Structure 1
C-alpha cells in the first residue's frame, strides 16, 4: 500500500479477514513540473529523471519516468525527501540547463524545466575500401575539446533508459545497425568531434550541428579484413561456436611487439567462420583457442583489404602430476619452480609461456597443464624468475596423445640453503636477504641476483641457487632498524643451513626526500645520515616519529646530519612530517 506524502509498506501471507500491522517507510513525494520552450513547441513524449543533487556531477538515478503529455506537464513521484537534479530527455529536444529542487513534502508549486529544439546526427558508416556497411560499431560524439558532449539520448535509448558510458569521456553514442546506419538525437547545437573506432583503426572528424537533422556519412579505413575458417578433423563434430582468436604482432629482435589479447571487432560469426576487421597491416602470429581443443597458431602477413586464414583444431591433451625432491625434503620456496611443456625445437625456456607453463604455487608440488597439442614434447622443470635467472632443473621427452596423462617428476636438491636472520641476542627476526653471484669464473650474463624473504619467527627456508659457486649474502631486517654486513660463501651442492647476524642501527640513511617538504627546504639529500633530532638518537623511523612528536610546536627542531663523513646541523621549519624516507644503518 502507499499514501501520498507518507510512504510505502507491505505485508506477506495475508488472507481475507486477517488483521495485520503494516509499517510505513517514509517516501513518495509528488513533484509537479512543466516543460517550457521559447518557441512554444513541446515534445509529446519525454522522460524525467531525478538524480541525487547532494553530490557534484550526479549519476545516481533515483527516479526515471516516461510521460506522454503534449502540453509538457508531468507529475513525478520521488522515493524520498532531499535535494534532486531534474533532467528531461526527449527526442528532438535538449534541456537548456539543470534544475535543482529541494523536496521535503508534496507541494502544489510547479517546477519549470526549460528545453529547446535539438540537433540530430545521422548517417551510414562504411568501409573506405569497398563502401561496405559496417554493423555493430559505436559512433561517439565528443565536445570540441575532447570531453564528453552534453547530449541527450537516441530514440532506442529513450525507450530502454539511460545508457552507461562505453568509452572514456563519451557518455552518449549510437551503435550502427545491420546496414551500418546510426542516429544520435537530442544534441545541443554546436561544434563537436565525431569519433569512430573499428578494432585498432580510428577516425575523427569535426562536425557543426544546428537544430534539426544533420546527415553525415562516415567512411573509415578498416585495415586488414580477416576471415578465419575453423574446422575439426572429427566427422560430424561442429566446429566451436565461440573461439578466442588472438594475434601477436611480430616485431624486430630489438623492438618488442605488443600483444593483442583478442582480435578486434568481429563483423560476422557463423559455425566455423568468423570475420574480423580493424587490424593494422603487418606480420602476426595468429592463435585460436577453443574449449576441448589444443591451441592452433600460424604466422601470417595481413594486408589492407581481404585476408583469409584457415585452422584445423586438434583434440587436446592434458598433463598432470607431482614434483618431489629426491631426498624427500621440501621444494624450494625461493624462487618458485615452474613446470612447462615445450615443443622439441623450442629452447627459449627463458621466455614465459602463458598456456603451457605454470608456477608450482603449492607446497605439495602438484601441477596440471593443458590444453596441449598432441605430439612429441619436452617436459621441463624450471627454476628462477626471468632471463638469466631461469635455469632448467629437469628435462625429459614425452609423446602425448589426446586425453589426460599423468607424469610425476623427481628432482635433485641442487644447491639449497635454509637461511636464518638473527639479531644480536640470537633471536630469529623477520627480514630479507639479497643474494648475488660473485664467482669470478661466472660470465656476467649468467650472474645470479635474487632476493629471499622470511616472516615473523621463521627462517628464509629452502632458497635454491642455480649452481655451486661463490655468493654474497646481505641481510636486512623488515623494520629497517638493523642490517648486517655482507658475507661471501662458497656454496656446494646439497642442502645447507646458515645464520646471518644483524647489528643494531645507530642512524638513519635518507632514501628519498619529498619535494616541498621540511627536509627539502633544509637541504637534506638522499644518502645523508640522520644522527639525532634535538639530541635524541635516531635508529628507526619510529624513533624519528617519536622524537618529532615530543617537540612542542613552538620549539625548534634541530637535526644532526652526517654527509660524506662530515657532521652538521639543520633546523627544520614548520610542523608535521619531516618528508624523508629512511632505513636503519650503522655509521
Structure 2
C-alpha cells in the first residue's frame, strides 16, 4: 500500500524467494513458511532516482497522460519504462542514474522526444506541450474492397525521423492522432508491393484535418491458407507470395484467420507461392491461378510444419541444461508455437536476459514440459529441422 506494507495469504508451507521491485532496482530474501505461523519480512529497495514530469499545454492547463507504452515512456537501450500517472503529472521511480529519452505522443498534441538526465534522488521536470492536429481520412474505392486490409496509409514529416501508420477500415476510413503542426506527406500504400498509389502533401493545423481521395482497386485476390492435416486455420501466420508472368512479386502475411489479400491486380496469370519454411516437407507450395477483373478467391492447403526437430545439442548449452535431448520436437516456446526457425528467433529476441522460459517438447509421442534460462539474443544451442508432430493437443 502507500506505506509500503504488504500481505500474502494462503501460502503452502515451504521455501520461497520474496522480491521487492522498484523500477530498475530490487531486493530479495528467502523465507520458509509454516502452517499456522505468521512470518514477517521487511525488504528495503534502495538506489536510483525519481523523475516527476509535470505536463502543461500552451494555455497552462494540465495534460491527460494515457497509460500506454505508445503514448508516454522513458527509455534507454535496456528497457522501456511506464510511469505512475495522475492528471497532468507522471512519476518514474527507481531509475538508474544516466541519460534517457522521454517520449510523448499524447492525443491532441504533437509527438515529442526529449533527452533527460536522471540523478540519484528527486528529479523534476515541467514541460509545455504544443497543441497538435488530427488527420481524418477517407479512401473512396470504386467498389467494396476485400474484407482483409490490402492497403495502408503512411504519414511522414520531413523534419522528423518517425512515421505514422494506419489501416483503413472497410469503408476506407482512417485516422491519425497527435501530429505535429506543419507539412506532412501522406501516402496510400499497397500491402503486397509496398508501392505508393497516392502521394499527397497535407498541411496539419490545430484541431481536425481531412484527407479525401479516390482509388481504383482493380482486381483483388483473397487467399485462404488451410492446414492440410486438420482442415483448420493454421496456428501461425505465414507469408503468401504472388508472382506475375513478368516475375514481379508481391508478398502479404496471413492474419489470424489464415487470410491474405492482394489488390490493384491486372488481369492475367499468376503463381501463388508459400515458402518452404512453413511446410513439413521443406519444399515450397505453389499454385497456378488466373486473376480476372473484379474479385477473386483462392484457397491453399498446406502440409504445415508444426514443430522443430532437435538434431544436435551443444554440450553445456541452454538446451542441454534444460533437459532437451536429440530427437525432441520443440512444440512451443513461452507458450507460443515454434513451427519455423523465424518464429523461434523472434520469440528469443523478445525474451529478457535471465528469464526462465517454459518449453513444450514431444518425445517418443509424449508431451513434456521443460524450462530454460534464456540468454538474451542467443539461441538454445541446438541444430534444428522442420518436423510434423503427432501430439493431439498442445
With the length of structure 1 as denominator, give the TM-score of the two structures. Answer: 0.38
> Quick one: distance in 1 between partners of 2:194 and 2:243?
14
Please report how far the alpha carbon of residue 201 of structure 1 lies from its aligned counterpart in structure 2 after TM superposition: 2.7
Match of 1:205 in 2: 29
What are the residue-to-residue correspondences of 1:201-240 with 2, within 5 Å? 201-206=25-30, 218-234=43-59, 237-240=60-63
Mapped pair 1:473 → 2:272: yes
Cα 1:136/1:315, change in 2 over 3 Å = farther
> Quick one: distance in 1 between partners of 2:39 and 2:304?
64
Mapped pair 1:435 → 2:241: yes
Match of 2:165 in 1: 357
Residue segments in structure 1 that go unaligned for 5+ positions in a row: 1-133, 143-147, 151-187, 252-256, 350-355, 422-429, 476-483, 516-525, 527-577, 582-587
Cα 1:216/1:431, change in 2 over 3 Å = closer
What are the residue-to-residue correspondences of 1:277-296 with 2, within 5 Å? 277-281=93-97, 283-288=99-104, 292-296=108-112
Task: Specify which of 198, 217, 223 is matched with residue 394 of structure 1.
Answer: 198
Please report how far the alpha carbon of residue 313 of structure 1 lies from its aligned counterpart in structure 2 after TM superposition: 1.6
Please report how far the alpha carbon of residue 402 of structure 1 lies from its aligned counterpart in structure 2 after TM superposition: 1.0
Task: Specify which of 192, 201, 211 is matched with residue 407 of structure 1.
Answer: 211
- What SS does structure 2 have at the residue aligned with 1:311? strand
Encode CA deviations 1:77-129: one digit per residue, 9 max, x unaligned: xxxxxxxxxxxxxxxxxxxxxxxxxxxxxxxxxxxxxxxxxxxxxxxxxxxxx
- What SS does structure 2 have at the residue aligned with 1:220? coil
> Quick one: distance in 1 between partners of 2:92 and 2:23?
8
Cα 1:288/1:466, change in 2 over 3 Å = farther
Encode CA deviations 1:326-374: one digit per residue, 9 max, x unaligned: xx2343555432234332245665xxxxxx5321122x21223223332
Contact conserved, 1:378 with 1:396, CA < 8 A, in 2? yes
Number of aligned residues = 289
Encode CA deviations 1:410-442: one digit per residue, 9 max, x unaligned: 23547x444799xxxxxxxx9999434488987
> Quick one: distance in 1 between partners of 2:304 and 2:180?
54
Match of 1:312 in 2: 128
Encode CA deviations 1:142-192: one digit per residue, 9 max, x unaligned: 9xxxxx746xxxxxxxxxxxxxxxxxxxxxxxxxxxxxxxxxxxxx9x976
> Quick one: distance in 2 between partners of 1:420 and 1:510?
16
Contact conserved, 1:232 with 1:313, CA < 8 A, in 2? yes
What are the residue-to-residue correspondences of 1:4-15 with 2, within 5 Å? none
Mapped pair 1:487 → 2:288: yes
Cα 1:448/1:281, change in 2 over 3 Å = farther
Match of 2:72 in 1: 246
Contact conserved, 1:339 with 1:382, CA < 8 A, in 2? yes
> Quick one: distance in 1 between partners of 2:3 and 2:25?
15
Mapped pair 1:373 → 2:180: yes
Contact conserved, 1:225 with 1:277, CA < 8 A, in 2? yes
Contact conserved, 1:248 with 1:286, CA < 8 A, in 2? yes
Match of 1:450 in 2: 252
- What SS does structure 2 have at the residue aligned with 1:408? strand
- What SS does structure 1 have at the residue aligned with 2:143? coil
- What SS does structure 2 have at the residue aligned with 1:360? coil
Larger Rg: 1
Contact conserved, 2:51 with 2:124, CA < 8 A, in 1? yes
Task: Between the two structures, name the one with larger relative contact order (CA 8 Å, sep ≥ 6).
Answer: 2
> Quick one: distance in 2 between partners of 1:280 and 1:149?
33
Match of 1:122 in 2: none
Contact conserved, 2:76 with 2:100, CA < 8 A, in 1? yes
Match of 2:158 in 1: 344
Residue segments in structure 2 that go unaligned for 5+ positions in a row: 225-231, 275-284, 310-328, 330-388
Contact conserved, 2:253 with 2:260, CA < 8 A, in 1? no
Cα 1:207/1:474, change in 2 over 3 Å = closer
> Quick one: distance in 2 between partners of 1:317 and 1:238?
17
Cα 1:195/1:409, change in 2 over 3 Å = same
What are the residue-to-residue correspondences of 1:147-166 with 2, within 5 Å? 149=11
Contact conserved, 1:200 with 1:278, CA < 8 A, in 2? yes
